């Protein structure tokens, strides 16, 4: 039961960020509180990344670095060992197991919390709006695509990674049965010859899954991957991240303030000297990753644009690495002649019966090649340009001015406190975002190490905000907004 003193916090999305924010709210809240988790799918804590699938996709980070809380760095490993007693700190464990871990955190926090009501709603949110634009802590109205509504004191957008990029060259085949826009569906059905657009982590997972599903076929499948540079991520190693040297961190920030060229030179020099001392270049990448928000802030806008044009791909391929087993599997497929990786651009995709004819141009060549494929899989990665988003919620937030894209289209603009920046350039103190679209302000915002810290700070800030707003005069509410009615629980 709730009363007038109960504050409502709505969390849209219950993947990693939504679940971790809710868990931290449950652990820290004092007093009557209502938490509403709204999820478009039927599972809390998994999202697309950690849900159960036929193929056992692996995490690409060792178990010892995957804790969802900064206070207990080995928490996930300890949980995993209750399911897999032989699991070690350097093991790359199944993503499904990580989904179970996240769900267990939420269940435990909910069981130990007092005077807090948690509701789990199934539905897709299409609108979030302020009920009083002039109130400092205006309540927010939420409407779902099926017409249900809710009034909240604070809303956290944790809607997960953006959808995969849509290609103009593929618009005429978007509904062709041989074109697969979601790479997680790549394993089925198996086919004779498959093109994977992209050569990063997503391609690696899709190729391994497809190769596994084709083992019982009487024919040998052929896989081709085409990306702009034709680079496959290197394997992870068991290097131990070193303590951040503040002097080195300061030199990196100084280099970034001068130019991208200077910063690149310093990073390469650090990598060389580290290897000369018998170390691992991955140590330097990890160091840069930890100070990335400061470096991104230090870079001037033209230098950020230059990074996106020339170095983005090279940073990603060294930053996001593969488990050894996955990299070895790709190398084995290449040695067998079953996987070819090319650098080039897709120029055109044309239906040809049940197949697709792909016109592509090799890198640094004027030749145009045409190949027939039984299927084409989009493994290009998430599209961070929210102005092109197909989600009803983002379209509404942009149209009403509650959200704005950053000028370089790397994500959504937020304040230091993770409030969305509106079209007037001001933060909305009751509307927050956490997730990979934070790249716009922090650059590194896709891995557990960064996101768990954001989630912890955000939970503390939201609790402080709703506590402060409780003491402030009640905002004027628009009488035209419908009162909330219950949604179907999942």
pLDDT in tens, 123-182: 889 899 988 777 667 789 999 888 889 999 999 999 877 776 667 777 788 889 999 887
Residue 267 confidence (pLDDT) above 50: yes
- pLDDT category at 413 given cuts 50, 70, 90 is very high
Instruction: Give the residue-averaged pLDDT of 285-303.
Output: 92
Contacts of 121 (CB under 8 A, 6+ apart): 36, 37, 38, 39, 487, 488, 489, 490
DSSP, res 239: P
Report the C-alpha gap between 79 and 63 in whole angstroms.
10
- The order of strands in the sheet holding 222-227 is 179-180, 375-378, 193-197, 222-227, 339-352, 355-362, 369-373
- Distance from chain centroid for Cα 129: 24
CATH class (in words) of the domain with range 168-234+321-378: alpha beta
Going by C-alpha positions, the residue among 158, 118, 124, 122 that lies closest to residue 142 is 124
In Å, how far from its chain's centre is CA 339?
27
Reported as a pLDDT band with limits 50, 70 and 90, residue 484 is very low
pLDDT average, residue stretch 394-421: 93
Percent helix / strand / coil, the chain, rounded to 5? 40, 20, 40
Distance of CA 14 to the CA centre of its chain: 13
106-134 b/e (C-beta count within 10 Å ≥ 16 → b)? beebeeebeebebbbbbbbbbbbbbbeee
Residue 349: both structure tokens together:
């995709």
CA dihedral (245, 250, 256, 261) positive or negative:
negative
- The average pLDDT across 390-406 equals 90
| Rounded Cα distance, 65 and 239, in Å | 12
Residue 186 pLDDT: 61
User: Beta partners for 344?
Assistant: 362
Distance CA 187, CA 377 (A): 10
> Which string of DSSP letters, residue by residue, matches 281-345?
HHHHHHHHHHTHHHHHHHS-HHHHHHHHHHTHHHHHHHHS-B-HHHHHHHHHHHHTTSEEEEEEE
Question: Which residues share a beta bridge with 317?
Answer: none
For residue 382, the 8-state DSSP code is B
Q: Contact 40/47 with Cβ under 8 angstroms? A: no
In this model, does residue 3 exceed pLDDT 70? no
Q: Cβ–Cβ contacts within 10 Å for residue 409, how many?
A: 14
Asked if domains 7-57+94-163+385-471 and 168-234+321-378 share a fold, the reply is yes
Task: List CB contacts of 464: < 8 A, sequence separation 6 or more.
Answer: none
Residue 50 CB partners (closer than 8 Å, separation 6+): 15, 16, 95, 96, 98, 99, 102
Q: Tally the residues of the chain.
A: 490
Q: In sequence order, which residues have a C-beta less than 8 Å from that of residue 176 and are 6 or more positions away?
A: 351, 356
Which carries the bigger pLDDT value, residue 486 or residue 397? 397
Per CATH, domain 7-57+94-163+385-471 is 3.50.50.60: yes
Distance between CA atoms of residues 158 and 11, nearest Å:
7
Mean pLDDT along residues 302-311? 95
Contact 198, 181 (CB under 8 A): no
Count Cβ atoms below 10 Å from residue 384 Cβ, excluding itself.
21
Domain boundaries, given as residue ranges, for the chain = 7-57+94-163+385-471, 168-234+321-378, 246-319
Mean pLDDT (the chain) is: 86
pLDDT tens by residue, 30-50: 878 999 999 887 655 555 567
């Amino acid at each position: 039961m709730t009363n007038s003193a109960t504050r409502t916090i709505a969390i849209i999305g219950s993947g990693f960020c939504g679940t971790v924010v809710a868990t931290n709210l449950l652990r820290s809240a004092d007093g009557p509180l209502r938490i509403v988790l709204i999820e478009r799918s039927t599972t809390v804590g998994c999202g697309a990344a950690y849900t159960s699938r036929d193929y056992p996709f692996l995490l690409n980070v060792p178990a010892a670095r995957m804790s969802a809380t900064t206070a207990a760095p080995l928490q996930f490993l300890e949980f995993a060992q209750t399911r897999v007693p032989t699991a070690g700190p350097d093991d790359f464990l199944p993503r499904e197991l990580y989904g179970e871990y996240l769900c267990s955190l939420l269940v435990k926090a909910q069981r130990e919390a007092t005077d807090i009501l948690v509701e789990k709603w199934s539905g897709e949110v299409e609108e979030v709006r302020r009920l009083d634009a002039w109130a400092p802590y205006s309540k927010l109205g939420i409407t779902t695509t099926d017409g249900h509504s809710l009034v909240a004191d604070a809303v956290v957008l944790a809607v997960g990674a953006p959808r995969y990029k849509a290609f103009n060259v593929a618009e005429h085949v978007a509904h062709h049965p041989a074109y697969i826009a979601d790479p997680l569906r790549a394993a089925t059905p198996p086919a004779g010859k498959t093109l994977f657009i992209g050569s990063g982590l997503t391609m690696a997972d899709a190729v391994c899954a497809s190769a596994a599903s084709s083992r019982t076929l009487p024919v040998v499948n052929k896989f081709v991957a085409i990306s702009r540079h034709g680079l496959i991520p290197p394997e992870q190693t068991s290097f131990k991240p070193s303590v951040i040297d503040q002097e080195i961190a300061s030199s990196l920030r100084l280099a970034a303030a001068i130019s991208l060229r200077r910063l690149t030179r310093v990073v390469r020099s650090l990598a060389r000297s580290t290897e000369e001392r018998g170390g691992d270049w991955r140590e330097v990448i990890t160091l840069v990753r930890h100070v990335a928000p400061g470096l991104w802030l230090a870079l001037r806008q033209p230098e950020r644009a230059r990074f996106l044009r020339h170095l983005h791909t090279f940073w990603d391929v060294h930053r996001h690495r593969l488990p050894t087993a996955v990299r070895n599997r790709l190398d084995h497929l290449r040695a067998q002649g079953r996987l070819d990786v090319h650098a080039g651009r897709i120029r055109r995709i044309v239906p040809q019966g049940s197949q697709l004819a792909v016109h592509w141009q090799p890198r640094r060549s004027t030749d145009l090649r045409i190949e027939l494929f039984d299927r084409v899989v989009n493994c290009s990665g998430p599209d961070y340009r929210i102005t092109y988003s197909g989600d009803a919620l983002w379209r509404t937030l942009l149209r009403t001015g509650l959200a704005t894209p950053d000028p370089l289209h790397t994500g959504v603009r937020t304040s230091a406190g993770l409030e969305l920046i509106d079209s007037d350039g001001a933060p909305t103190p009751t509307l927050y975002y956490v997730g990979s679209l934070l790249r716009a302000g922090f650059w590194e915002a896709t891995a557990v190490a960064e996101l768990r810290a954001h989630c912890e700070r955000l939970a503390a800030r939201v609790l402080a905000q709703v506590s402060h707003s409780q003491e402030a005069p009640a905002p004027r509410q628009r009488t035209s907004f419908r009162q909330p009615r219950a949604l179907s629980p999942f």
